[in-house]
Amino acid sequence: MENFYYFNNEETNYTKYLIKEVLKKRYILDASVVSKWYYQKDEEDFKNALIIYNKLQSENYTFFAPDLLIYELLNIYRNKSELDSPRINKIISELYDLIVIVGINKNTFSKSFQISRKFDISLYDSVYIAITEDLGANLITADKRLYDSIKLSNSKITLLSDFL
């Protein structure tokens, strides 16, 4: 006997749903990638960032980011006068609709601290690495310094310019 559950008011076979979710490619996005979507002025790798943006609703991928991403984006955009408050509110709303935003818990903080020390990177960057490891995903970053610090470890990290 198969178990059926309701998702979005639609009867769904739970087992088939889980198998489909497991087969999706999982990626973590950091602020260096996401920031390019909403403010393209003088941005390198904008085309690759746009390709990722266009894949956000694909059935073949799931994209994650820590809630830290929102803090970082707001900090980046705070001096961009072209991005007024209504636009910022739309950006925040869209991010929550398109990306699975992961809360940072005590285990993530602890793991991030260890990663930060091990690779001599910022705690902010190490949060992305910790979540990448926890979810068995691949981190996509435009931060060359972070990429160079992590690429030789067992962590899965892809530079935005190499994503394709």
Q: What is the phi/psi pair of residue 108, to 5°?
A: -65, -40
155: pLDDT confidence band, cut at 50, 70 and 90? confident
CATH architecture of 24-162: 3-Layer(aba) Sandwich (3.40)
User: Taking 70 as the threshold, does the pLDDT of residue 110 lie above it?
Assistant: yes
Count how many residues are written for the chain. 164
pTM over 0.85: no
| Separation CA 54–CA 36 (nearest Å) | 13
Q: What is the phi/psi pair of residue 23, to 5°?
A: -80, -15
User: Taking 50 as the threshold, does the pLDDT of residue 1 lie above it?
Assistant: no
Task: Give domain limits for the chain.
Answer: 24-162
